[in-house]
Chains A and B, each alone.
Chain A
Amino acid sequence: MKKYVCSVCGYVYDPEKGIPEEGIAPGTAFEDLPDSFVCPVCGVGKEDFEPEA
């Protein structure tokens, strides 16, 4: 599973870890995040994330 980077603030979503405090279980692929997902740091949506280079 690929990590995704927020193009606005640089936050990295790591699917291995998920974001348990936001209710996203470890092992959740970026593609499987709900459309309502927002960057936990700066608040932008999934469309502003890019696969990690």
Chain B
Amino acid sequence: MKPVKITDNIYWVGAVDWNLRNFHGYLTQRGSTYNAYLVIDDKITLIDTVKEGFTGEMLERIAGVIDPSKIDYIISNHSEMDHSGSLPEMLMRAPGAEIIASANGEKNLKEHFKWDCKVRAVKAGDTLNTGKYTFTFVPEPMVHWPDSMVTYLEAEKILFSNDAFGQHLATSERFDDEYSPDIIMEEARKYYANIVLPYSPQVQKALNDLSGLKIETIATSHGIIWRRNISRIIEAYKQWSSNEVQKKALIVYDTMWHSTEKMAETIAAAFSEQGYNYRILSLQQNHISDIMTELLEAEYICVGSPTLNNNMLPTVAAFLTYMRGLAPKGRKAMAFGSYGWGGQSVKQVHEILESCGYQMLESAGIKFRPDDEALKKIRESLIKAI
């Protein structure tokens, strides 16, 4: 496997994970990459590593440029295993290499790997000179872990952004001008909705920190490297991090005997009547990570569950748990569902949505099968409420 040249002295030396489909619960239908970068100067720098199991692929690419034992510095922008997994082996291959990380990164790496080796902790604005190049470090806590950091190389106007602006996308193409821009943006959007969303205020701070930098290349840690559509992805991050919503409603549900499903269709009809775009998303057919992507700019989130053994269905509970963690803000919400006797699910769903701080519409619970009259009532009261 060959390295890919970014500029005369900088190479992509990462690995492509063609078979990845589940990134701790996030459905990665297009696989992913773990991007590591090699910077050749008087001193040799490796920026991030790859997931354990892909170390050989990375080493082969590094060896296509230099002998890996000659690496002087390894910048660890983020200690999560998909970027730090190869660090122990790299330290064996390049025993003289010094690891550089944020203060939280230093703590994480030492705790995670049970290391007593030296890690140089850097703070905002600290630099590393490697000859003609000077790297500047900018910790960006909680984008998306406490240790997250980006590294800027002014001489080449490259931002090594780690997870920010990334996408789970396995390709042989490395740059955004070589691949469908719409697919890249779709995967960047899914990545934001499923990884970055809870930290939107920190993203806004990060965008502000970076606004003064001249950036011609954003070298992410997953997926495609941005060099043509930089303004498009930065504008998208501004929009996604603002929690701005559009006239769009999601109706997310599961059903046992099609009654809650009928209610979902009726609710969708009411939104349609009021000029809303809508999505009817069965939890039997849609993955929760795809639903989150749809939720990114939806004004309304309506969640329906029948009652099973005095509880909501486990699929609905899983979705709500996932959504509550990703914490989209400022939405309007509604609970609905059919039931045979207790009907506890509707109240449970309502309480969870309310705990997210959402403005709640009146819940709709229907005993047994909803008849035309009951559905008409839901539709009419909803049209008034929207």
Chain A contact residues, CB within 8 Å of chain B: 8-10, 21, 41-42
Contact = CB atoms under 8 A, between A and B. Distances in A.
A21 B104 CA distance: 28
Contacts, number: 15
Contacts of A9: 141-142, 146
B202 interface: yes
Contacts of A41: 142, 199, 201-202
Contacts of B357: 21
15 contacts: A8-B104, A8-B146, A9-B141, A9-B142, A9-B146, A10-B141, A10-B142, A10-B146, A21-B357, A41-B142, A41-B199, A41-B201, A41-B202, A42-B142, A42-B146
Interface string B170-201: 00000000000000000000000000000101
Nearest to A21: B357
Q: From DSSP, what is the main secondary structure of chain A's interface residues?
A: loop
A8 B141 CA distance: 9
A41 B148 CA distance: 14
A10 B141 CA distance: 7
Interface residues of B, number: 8
A20 B202 CA distance: 19
Contacts of B141: 9-10
Given A8-B104, A10-B142, A41-B199, 9 more contacts: A8-B146, A9-B141, A9-B146, A10-B141, A10-B146, A21-B357, A41-B201, A42-B142, A42-B146
B359 to A, nearest CB: 13
A9 B103 CA distance: 11
Contacts of B142: 9-10, 41-42
A37 B274 CA distance: 40
A10 B357 CA distance: 24
A51 to B, nearest CB: 18
Nearest to B142: A9
B240 to A, nearest CB: 18
A52 to B, nearest CB: 15
B322 to A, nearest CB: 15
Contacts of A8: 104, 146
Nearest to B139: A10
Contacts of B201: 41
Contacts of A42: 142, 146
B120 to A, nearest CB: 19
Interface string B133-148: 0000000011000100
A8 B105 CA distance: 11
Contacts of B146: 8-10, 42
Closest 10 CB pairs of A and B: A9-B146, A10-B141, A9-B141, A9-B142, A8-B146, A41-B142, A42-B142, A42-B146, A41-B202, A21-B357
B343 to A, nearest CB: 29
B149 to A, nearest CB: 12
A21 B199 CA distance: 16
B125 to A, nearest CB: 15
A42 B202 CA distance: 11
Question: Which of B146, B201, B202: most chain A CB closer than 10 A?
Answer: B146
A21 B163 CA distance: 28
Contacts of B104: 8
Nearest to A22: B357
Nearest to A44: B146
A41 B142 CA distance: 8
Contacts of A21: 357
A13 B267 CA distance: 41
A4 B146 CA distance: 17
A10 B146 CA distance: 8
Interface string B113-144: 00000000000000000000000000001100
A9 B145 CA distance: 8
